[in-house]
Amino acid sequence: MSDIPHVTLNNGLSMPQLGLGVWQARGTEVVDAVTAAIDSGYRLIDTAAIYGNESEVGEAIRASSVAREELFVTTKLWNSDQGYDNAKRAFDKSLERLGLDYVDLYLIHWPAPKLDKYVETWQALEEIYESGRAKAIGVCNFHVQHLEKLMANAKVTPAINQIELHPRLAQHEIREYCVSKNIQVESWSPIGGSGGNLLNDPVIHDIASKHNRTAAQIIIRWHIQSGLVVIPKSVHVDRIKQNADVFDFALDDNDMKKIAQLNTGERRGPNPEKMDSRVGTGIGQFAHKLNLVRFRK
């Protein structure tokens, strides 16, 4: 059994507080990473249609000796699939690629405010949720104004808001709002992303030396103690194991205060207000750089 603690979502569903993200992972490295994660005690696996690796995630899950009901599988709806009818079709395709009868969590990947379709998209997700094919539904990268507009027209409150969040982008406003609405916050890019240099920050390194831990373990532990769900990505078996080895120590108040001072509001990914589904703008350009343009319209 996994020793990773769980949080309880607003619909009563239990969700592991730490999982594996597979963004940018490809082919057999996805299968190997998911297999290593499950063997190391992970039970939460986070993928998305735009990642292009749902099939490999499903392959690893089916090959695992861990029962499906013990795993928590998340996938996400891409921007160009927003809209009521499109969302339902896209969900069916994700299930088919995963080779699963249901997912534990289905998310709108971005609000894409220029498209202005996330309210009708949410209505489709509500029906998917009511059918039982998604045990919970939520959103990614939603600011307060996006959540307010969504919930003014919703029957179901999002269970999750998955956002870019790390010590340099602490996102206090949206976190406080989500707590007030009983929406669990989940951190993507939790250690600051590649090239962010957060792992080399001297404050993090001093705290890591104090606890005889890696810099990544200190940052992941900060997420855990902050009440966040965290999904660090790695395709390296040793790092996958290390990232989950954070439950036998604790950061003290002084550690937490020092890390809090690292918040500069620095984003590593796109601003959700400045993107839509087209290549060349916002997340479309971001996806283009990752060779994911096959998902464009």
**CA end-to-end span of the chain:** 43
Catalytic residue among 51, 106, 118, 129: 51
* C-alpha to C-alpha distance for 175 and 161, rounded to whole angstroms: 9
**Residue 51 annotated to the active site:** yes
Residue written as token pair 């099939």: 55
* C-alpha to C-alpha distance for 111 and 109, rounded to whole angstroms: 7
HSE, CB side, 13 Å, CA atoms: give it for residue 161.
28
Phi-psi region of 220 (alpha: psi -120 to 50; beta: other; left: phi over 0): alpha
* C-alpha to C-alpha distance for 158 and 137, rounded to whole angstroms: 6
CA 27 from centroid of its chain's CA atoms: 20
Residue written as token pair 């919930």: 151
Tell me which residues are annotated as active site.
Answer: 51
